[in-house]
Structures are given as C-alpha cells and as structure tokens.
Structure 1
Amino acid sequence: MNDMTPTKLKPNDFATDQEVRWCPGCGDYAILKGVQRTMAEMGARPENTVFISGIGCSSRFPYYMETYGFHTIHGRAPALATGVKLANPDLDVWIITGDGDGLSIGGNHMLHLLRRNLDCQVLLFNNEIYGLTKGQYSPTSRIGTRSPSTPYGSVDAPAEPCTFALGAGARFLARCIDTAQKQMPDILKRAHAHQGASFVELYQNCIVYNDDVFEPFTNKKDSANTQIWLTHGEPMLFAKGEKGLKLNRDDLHLEIVDVVDGDWEAAGVLAHDEKNRTLAQMLVEMRHPTMPVALGVIYCDPKPSFEQDVVTQNAKESAGKVVDLGALIRKGQTWEVNQKKLREQ
C-alpha cells in the first residue's frame, strides 16, 4: 500500500476537543452529527475544508469541526467566504448561518453570494427565532409569534428562505429537517457536488424559545402525510404512495390528488424535475396547512461559478504580461508634495 494514500477518516475524526455548548435538546446537535458523518462518508479532508460562520447559536459550528474555520461577524460570513474562495479556489467552503444572521443583517451579503454563484455550501439553520439573544422574533418568525420583542404577537410577514434564495439567483436549493439523519448526508453530498452556490435550509428546533414550531410536519406520527421527499425523475408521491402532487393548469398551482392502485400517471402526478425553476418556485411556496412540506433537493441547475470566472479572467488578462509594480505606480497621474510651497501658503 502506498504510504501517501490518505487515511480513511471516521465521523469522530471531524470532532474537536471543544465542549459542545448548545442547550440540551437543541437541533444543532443533530445537524453537527449529520455534517460530521457526511464529511467522513464523502472522503473530505480537514486540511482542505473551511467552515465559516457569522453570529448566532448555529455560528458556534466551526469550533466543533476539526477543519479550518472562521467565526466572523454578524451576517458577514458570505463576504469572508468569498475572500477565502477567491484566494484559494481549491478549498471546500461551508457557510453556517441562521435565519436571523443570514436573512436579516446578512441578507444583502447572502443575496450577492447567491447571485454571484460562489462555489460553496450554505447551510441555513432555520428555527424561526433569535435564540442566542434570548428569543426575539426573526425574519422567518410567523405572524402571531410571541417573543420578548413582540409580546402581543408579531405582525411581520415572514421571509421564506428558499423563495429568497431562488429570487436571488441560487442554482441549488434543498431542504432537510435536523432529525432526518437518514436523508441529511445524501442532501449534503449533493450540495457539495454542485458546482456553484448550494443553499440548504435546515429546519432546526429551538427547544427553549420556539419549541415544536415545526411539529405539525416533523412529528413521526403524521410525517408520511405532511412531508414529501423529492427525487429527480421520480413521481412526487407521499402518504405511502397513496397521494401525489398534480399541476392544476387552470391557475397554475400544485394540488393533491389520490393515487389508486399505484397508478400515479393516471392520477396526473408530476415527476420531479429539479431543473425546472418554475416547479421549484411552486414547491417552496406550498404553505397551506393541507399541503405537504417539500424536502430534499428541490432545484439544481448548475452554471459556471464566480471564482472560476474570476480565475479564468485573471489568467487571460495576465497572459504574456510582465509584472512591474513600479510601472503600475508611475502610471497615470502623479504629483509631488513640495513642503516649501506648503509652508509659504
């Protein structure tokens, strides 16, 4: 065996010696385990991996990953990630953010990261609350949410993370649940394999300030009827295959239909097409309580990434040219500061 062959790493090899400090029962623990497991399964190398976060409960993540990492400032993780990726395009860059960090003060930075299509993975932990600062309502909090900052109930119309990402030009959208450990690694692997900005919304339960806000669709008892896991090219079925999603062509929306004897084609059920942006828009906007929540890879339509274009442009413009810093400094307008004349004035 070649001594240079990299050692196969296990999930624990991506765990640091730092004490994991989240509230007992927080969904972040499950996500951390899912990410560490994914790193091992896809053969990631710690020396080639960077986790970058902003501010919030989720942003403690880099401390717990045995990789390179930055714990940056509120909402600015996308800006730091852009600098890292441009400096070394070969690095695997993961951005860890929350609904407050990424969609409030960081909303502008997130928009431009997705618009530019930087090759990185964005994991947005959505618990619909500000947990670190003790339970204020966040951009994704629902109307009526009672919190220290909205004691009578929030009247803000909430932001929908995947709708925002799609509108910003994201080319990869996916959703998962913190406890969906079976599906999470496959989703994260798909995000990593995508060339460009991958946006993954992770529904994460805040047990202290917003407990069970996702319970209507995450509880195991009803999950077969409230969740629809999407696979490209496969029929959009749920409820153990007894129901599916059909396009209502009168006003262009998705509706639930019954599937008899497994004949989904006769029922008019659509096959999932992850390259169809219009379909992705309809899937992420299924908000009616009777509709299932779309999970898995919702949209994937790659195009060249930002740093690839920058590297290509730089190589083209610098080809055959000699680097001469002195000539660059002397180029254009120059002036001389004459101390004697300044004193006379």
Structure 2
Amino acid sequence: MGGSRASEAWPVSDHFDGSRFFNPGGAPPRRLLDVARWQLGRGGDDWPDRFPSPFPPDRPPLRVEGAALRVSFVGHASFLLQGAGLNILTDPVWSERVSPFSFLGPRRVNPPGIAFDDLPPIDVVLVSHGHYDHLDVETLTRLWRRDRPRIIAPLGHESTIRGQDADIAVTTADWGDAVPLGPGVDAVLEQVHHWTARGVLDRNHALWCGFVLRGLGEGVFFAGDTGFDQGRPFQRVAERHGPLGLALLPIGAYEPRWFMADQHMNPADAVRGFGLLGARQALGFHWGTFRLTDEGIEQPPADLAAALREEGVDPARFLAMRPGQVWPRASAA
C-alpha cells in the first residue's frame, strides 16, 4: 500500500521544506533506532482479547437539524457528529486491524459503537493524518461507494485514499484553510504536533492536522493525534476561534513517555490542553480499542480521573468515551 509523496508544487513554508512537512519549533518523530530500542525492551501491561463496551451499539437518527449537536463514539478516533443537518465522521475505522496487513498488527478488542449498516448517510469525512489507526482505506472506500461523502484531509493524502478506488474525490488543504461543509458550517484545518507515514520511506511526505468545526453546535475541536507541545496547539485554537463548546481530545497511546511524549498526550497533558482551550466540554478518545503502546487498557481513564482531581475540574466535563456512548446522554435516540 503506497504512501503519499509531497508535491513539488507546494510552496516552501514554515512547515514544509520542499520535500517534507515538519513541526515548526517542535520535535521531529523518533528515529528508527529509537523504535527498535522501544520494541526490543518493550514491557507494559497485557491487554485482554476482548474489552466490550458497557454501552449498547448506537443507532443514530437520520439527521439532527439546527443548533443541536449529537456525538456518538464509534471507537479509537472515530466519532459521528450530527448537527446542522450534517452527518460527519472523524478518522473512520471499521476494519478489524490497523495495519498494512490483514493478518498482523493491532487488532480491535471491541466492535464499533455503530454497526456500519446502521450509519446514517454520511456527508463529510475528516481524516487527520495517514497512520493506519486514523486513515483506513478500506472503510473510506466503503463509505465512498455507499454515500459519496466529502472527504477532507491535510495535504498529501489523496494518493493513499484513492489507492483502492481512483474515483474517490478528496479535498486536501493546508493548516489554516477553511473548507465549507454547508450553510454556516466550515471545517478549519488546525496545526497540531504530530507526524505521519504509511511506510518507512514516506515519513512526513504528507501533512497532519486537527479540525475546528465552526457552526456545528457551539463549535467543535477534533485534535486527531497531537503532543502537548508546550500547549501551543490549544493556545492557537483558542486565539483563532474563541471558547468552543466541545473538544475531542486523545488520552491514550502515551507509554513509555521517553518515546511517546512529543507526539502523544497523556491524560494530564489532555486536561491541561482542555484548560487552555477554554472549551465547555471534552470527550476523551484514542484508548481502549487498539493496543498501540505500553499502558494498560484501563490506565487512561484512571489517569484522566487523577488529572481532573489534580486540576480541580469536574469529571463530568471530561469523559473517557466508550464505543456506543452518546453525548449528550439526553439526546440519545
């Protein structure tokens, strides 16, 4: 499965050197020698083969109109956002594994919180970057053939997404660009601190991002994957967009810290980021579905609870989501 290559037509900028994208003033991804050091010395807690959600699979409504917002968690980084008459998926993954191989790699330990056939018609798909646990070409192809959604990704991912079906239309954009989704609703690509690759030879030939959805509810920030990076991703979003109603923040895949800290937040980082954003509510994701790193499967919500106590934040304002869970609960169908 080929990776994306950066286009020579893109201008050199503060985050593109003419060949590769990079984090301005931030840390690069770990070297392959560091990966080998981690893997050879890897420990951590074993995960169970199954970790079923306490929530039954969601059966979302066809549409949610007006200013109301309904959020359903599918698992890992996949959310269904419904509002303003739009159905929007983030980083949709319905595959059994997140890997270039169908027989090897991290395997799902709970089913998706919405069965694929129970999805309403999807209007928009947001893809934050190219790692296999966020960009699942099999799921994107299924969605395209069923619904013809608008697929939006940062620069460089079109060749990966179109690799299985050349007819798939992809809108790519740079940090700071706003993509209209419908009357009064825009998706704005925001700078976060991460990296991307599909293989060993295409590292950072494509870009990564978070998304702010303006005009959806009171505004939504989906962070994708990000390191804390001295709080700068959250400060930028707050400065550009003001207080938002909802932040979707990753809280998993953070151990060991010597390896993961620059690119993945732990729950304490996420709580600090939530404070910098000034958002009304946060939903935690990126935990409990695919084992990617060394922390135990139930460690992220435990660490989140401790961080919220430490910062004096009401735990009801930052939930560690489970597949099938709907926010706000009162709006569940």
Shorter chain as denominator, the TM-score bin is 0.3 to 0.5
Give the number of the structure whose residues are more often helix, by fraction.
1
